[in-house]
């Protein structure tokens, strides 16, 4: 699978240019991010690359910049940092970012998946196929006429 997102796409979106030492790590992170987005959004990633590149840049920036990892408080004396719950969830994206990307890609809200019906079930569970003599259209027409 060819990588859709490139370092050239996200680097202008970062807070500061990458140093030569940071580029190999950012490239590796971007390859992983691209895979995650490809699995989740499929062809939408290629169709909306400029949109997804913003979120990819934010994910890379969080890895580069510890101050951007959602610290609730920092201290200088005892050198303590208290991270908030969102920073400890792991993964590349925050829950709000995933929800925003889902909405933009048309995946927001309720998702439904159709599974194949078991053998012997013709029209869901509404019709008893055992009583039909092979002519389903005639059978359904009879039911419709009886309802009138």
Residue-level pLDDT at 117: 57
pLDDT in tens, 25-68: 999 999 999 999 998 898 999 999 999 999 999 999 888 876 55
Residue-level pLDDT at 141: 72
pTM of the model as a whole:
0.61
Chain mean position to CA 74? 32
Residue-level pLDDT at 68: 52
Residue-level pLDDT at 146: 72
Contact in structure between 58 and 26 (CB atoms under 8 Å): no
Residue-level pLDDT at 77: 73
**Tokens 């500061």 map to which residue?**
16
Residue-level pLDDT at 48: 94
pLDDT in tens, 65-114: 765 556 666 667 777 766 665 554 457 888 889 889 998 998 876 656 66
Cα 27 from Cα 6, distance rounded (Å): 8
> Where is pLDDT greater, at 146 or 50?
50
Please, which pLDDT band fits residue 2 given cuts at 50, 70 and 90?
confident
Question: In terms of Cα–Cα distance, which of 33, 41, 138 is closest to 93?
Answer: 33
Contact in structure between 122 and 136 (CB atoms under 8 Å): yes
All structural domains of the chain with their residue ranges: 7-69+95-104, 116-148
């Amino acid at each position: 699978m060819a990588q859709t997102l490139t370092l050239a796409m996200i680097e202008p979106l970062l807070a500061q240019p990458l140093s030569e030492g940071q580029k190999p790590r950012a490239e590796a992170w971007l390859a992983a991010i691209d895979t995650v987005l490809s699995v989740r959004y499929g062809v939408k990633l290629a169709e909306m690359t400029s949109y997804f590149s913003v979120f990819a840049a934010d994910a890379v920036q969080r890895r580069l910049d510890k101050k951007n990892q959602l610290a609730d408080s920092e201290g200088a004396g005892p050198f303590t940092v208290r991270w908030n719950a969102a920073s400890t969830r792991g993964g590349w994206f925050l829950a709000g970012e995933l929800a925003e990307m889902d909405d933009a890609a048309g995946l927001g809200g309720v998702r439904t998946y159709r599974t194949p019906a078991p053998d012997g079930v013709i029209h869901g569970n509404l019709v008893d196929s055992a009583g039909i003599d092979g002519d389903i259209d005639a059978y359904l027409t009879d039911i419709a006429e009886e309802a009138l």
